[in-house]
Chains A and B, each alone.
Chain A
Amino acid sequence: MHTGFLTIYWRDMLRFIRFRTLLFASLVQPALWLAFFGIAMSNNFDRLTATLPAIPGVKTVGYLTFIGAGVIAMTTLFTSLFGGTVLLFDKNWGLMRETLSSPLPRIHIIIGIGLSGMTKSFIQAAVIMVFGILLGVQFFEGYTLAQILASLLGIMLFIGAFSLGFLFLSAAIAITMESPESMQAVITLLTMPFFFTSNALYPANSFPPLLRALSTINPLTHLVSGIRYFAIGGDFSSIGIHYTYTQGEVFVSFLFLLAFTGIMFLIARWRFKKVTVT
């Protein structure tokens, strides 16, 4: 097997680790989300829902735990959507000419960037989980070690599939755009609907029908559901709402993410075939 994508991966990770400030910011920022937004909202929600009777026989978790999965998902979304930016800079500064005139098949550029972005998302998710648990996020509560490991694997699969999909999308945008400003604008525009039509920060159950429909085809919703299933469980209640995820539903969510990623890969491949860099 041609392992050219590892070269692209190596270079991107090299740059990620080299810039300490960037590395530090990218790890601390999601933790701060959890610390400020999470705690502030958590106090409000918990006060509002304090009068609601607990559902008998169902584990109840606080809002901070509920949003913990959302913050991981949100961070993965942002990091992945911006993950392709390096390709735009490479293209604009002429650095991509070296890669494109080499025997490396172009598909490897997409795969390499995808894998390095995925690695970054894994690192960030790990940081958020550790930090979250320190803040009081009730992840993996009452799990055995084996269950925790299995859950972590499940979360990684979900984050992996999701981040690859958005990295391919990001790479396709980067290779098509002319300037960093326009890329920034497009991505900012994209993040809004993905973010706010998902169940990351609040329950999607009480959305009006259109938003609910959008929510069910939103990859972010499926990622959040997957993380909650593995980190909290298939049957819990939070802020007065009873959540159940069956294995089947979670499997469908995963298939949905895989399909999304597959389509994004095809789009990225098509955009890369078109590109000429001189």
Chain B
Amino acid sequence: MALENNIIDVNGLEYFFGEVKAVDNISFTFREGAIFSFMGPNGAGKSTVINILTTLLPMQKGSVSIAGYDLRTEPEKVRESIGIVFQELTLDRDMTVREILEYHGRLYSMPKAARQARVDELLDLVELEEKRDTLTRHLSGGMKRRLEIARGLMTRPKVLFMDEPTIGLDPQTRIRIWDYVRDINQQGTTIFLTTHYMDEADQFSDEISIMDHGKIIVTGKSWELKNALGQDLIYLETSDNREAGELLKNLDSVKGIKEKTKGIVVMVNVDGTYLLPEIIDKLRSRGITIKAVNLKKPSMDDVFVHHTGRELRDTGTEKSSVISLRAGGR
């Protein structure tokens, strides 16, 4: 039985595609009302986890409870409690915007009056009111995505799963979609997100997990993950770079020095914001003039590269399922 405030409770989840282990003994819990991100390279197993949690793939090993229901014994109850925005567009091109939502409501046995009220409300939320009777084939990419988000919310799910919700969209559309997502979240829906965009995970999630090779490598709040790296970088251009380097090397909080063409980069293992004045004082006291200073905090990209050993390449979504099988095979 799940704890009262854990909306998702996953224990020892494993999944094999034939011989290939796509999900390798992962466990995590989500508390109700938060936004969680799963990040990871293509083929890390994120989509497989989502597919299992949304009942599209059968449970093989482990236990999952969502909204208090056991996924193995009460999949119907789980299905009633969740909404899904899939990675690929899954809209019938030959149905109108209203019909898409109507169909979804019917699938979940919503009564007619509730369906109609909800359609109006959601079309207003995602600003598709004018497109109500337009076939979805005539919508732009961003509109389609907004419609899918509306559809995911049609049944007021407790948890909304979003697999790469903003992939391939322009920056304005991404911002708008994030506005909706935050609105929805503030109304109490827990959000489980996978994303390729570091900045999105960084800005919008309460908690981030990084997945690779079917395992969760690290979990934490965005600032925790960044600070845990202890990798603030201070760039200095001085009148005497060599001597400056020698001086700073001996400080406890300095991990290393790298010489660049015009200056030096000091790697520190404490918060650089507080160390920087100390460094400046020290150099000045030895008569070294400082010409330029820059402080760089680690980004989510740095966190990602640190844990997975690779850059997150934004390969297209087209082949992702193929890639995920191959990558899982290593």
Q: Once the chains are docked, how many angstroms separate the CA of A95 from the CA of B93?
A: 10
> Are A93 and B95 in contact, CB atoms less than 8 angstroms apart?
no
Q: Once the chains are docked, how many angstroms separate the CA of A19 from the CA of B80?
A: 33
Chain A: interface secondary structure?
A: helix
Q: Which A-chain residue is minimally distant from B83 (CB atoms)?
A: A101
**A2: which B residues are within 8 A, CB to CB?**
109
> Are A95 and B106 in contact, CB atoms less than 8 angstroms apart?
no
Q: Once the chains are docked, how many angstroms separate the CA of A97 from the CA of B84?
A: 10
Selected contact of B107 from candidates A14, A19, A103, A277, CB within 8 Å: A103
Q: Which B-chain residue is minimally distant from A277 (CB atoms)?
A: B56
Interface centre among B56, B58, B321 (most CB of A within 10 A): B56
Question: With A94-B88, A97-B86, A101-B79 in contact, is A278–B51 under 8 Å at CB?
Answer: yes
> Are B109 and A4 in contact, CB atoms less than 8 angstroms apart?
yes
The digit string for B68-110, where 1 denotes a CB below 8 A from any CB of A, is 0000000010011010101011111011000100011011110
Selected contact of A97 from candidates B58, B90, B104, B321, CB within 8 Å: B90
> Are A94 and B90 in contact, CB atoms less than 8 angstroms apart?
yes
**A37: which B residues are within 8 A, CB to CB?**
none
B57 at the interface (CB under 8 A from A): yes
> Are B94 and A18 in contact, CB atoms less than 8 angstroms apart?
yes
Selected contact of B99 from candidates A14, A104, A278, CB within 8 Å: A14
A47 at the interface (CB under 8 A from B): no
> Are A100 and B90 in contact, CB atoms less than 8 angstroms apart?
no
> Are B80 and A103 in contact, CB atoms less than 8 angstroms apart?
yes
Q: Once the chains are docked, how many angstroms separate the CA of A15 from the CA of B106?
A: 17
Question: With A94-B86, A101-B79, A103-B76 in contact, is A276–B94 under 8 Å at CB?
Answer: no
B37 at the interface (CB under 8 A from A): no
> Are A278 and B95 in contact, CB atoms less than 8 angstroms apart?
no
The digit string for A168-207, where 1 denotes a CB below 8 A from any CB of B, is 0000000000000000000000000000000000000000
Question: With A4-B107, A101-B84 in contact, is A93–B56 under 8 Å at CB?
Answer: no
Within 99-151 of B, Cβ neighbours of A (below 8 Å) are at 99, 103-104, 106-109, 151
Q: Once the chains are docked, how many angstroms separate the CA of A161 from the CA of B107?
A: 26
B65 at the interface (CB under 8 A from A): no
B190 at the interface (CB under 8 A from A): no
**A11: which B residues are within 8 A, CB to CB?**
92, 95, 99, 103
Q: Once the chains are docked, how many angstroms separate the CA of A56 from the CA of B108?
A: 64
**B27: which A residues are within 8 A, CB to CB?**
none
Q: Once the chains are docked, how many angstroms separate the CA of A10 from the CA of B103?
A: 9
Within 255-269 of B, Cβ neighbours of A (below 8 Å) are at none
Q: Once the chains are docked, how many angstroms separate the CA of A94 from the CA of B54?
A: 14
Selected contact of B106 from candidates A7, A18, A97, A276, CB within 8 Å: A7
**A102: which B residues are within 8 A, CB to CB?**
79, 104, 107-108
Closest Cβ of chain A: how far from B68's Cβ, in Å?
16
Q: Once the chains are docked, how many angstroms separate the CA of A99 from the CA of B151?
A: 12
> Are A278 and B56 in contact, CB atoms less than 8 angstroms apart?
yes
**A15: which B residues are within 8 A, CB to CB?**
92, 94-95
Q: Once the chains are docked, how many angstroms separate the CA of A15 from the CA of B55?
A: 28
17 other A-B residue contacts (CB within 8 Å) besides A101-B84, A103-B108: A4-B107, A7-B106, A7-B107, A10-B106, A11-B92, A11-B99, A14-B99, A94-B86, A94-B88, A94-B90, A97-B56, A97-B84, A98-B84, A101-B82, A104-B107, A276-B56, A276-B57
- A interface residues, Cβ below 8 angstroms from B: 2, 4, 6-7, 10-11, 14-15, 18-19, 93-95, 97-104, 276-278
6 smallest CB-CB distances across A and B, nearest first, come from A7-B106, A102-B107, A94-B90, A103-B79, A278-B51, A103-B76
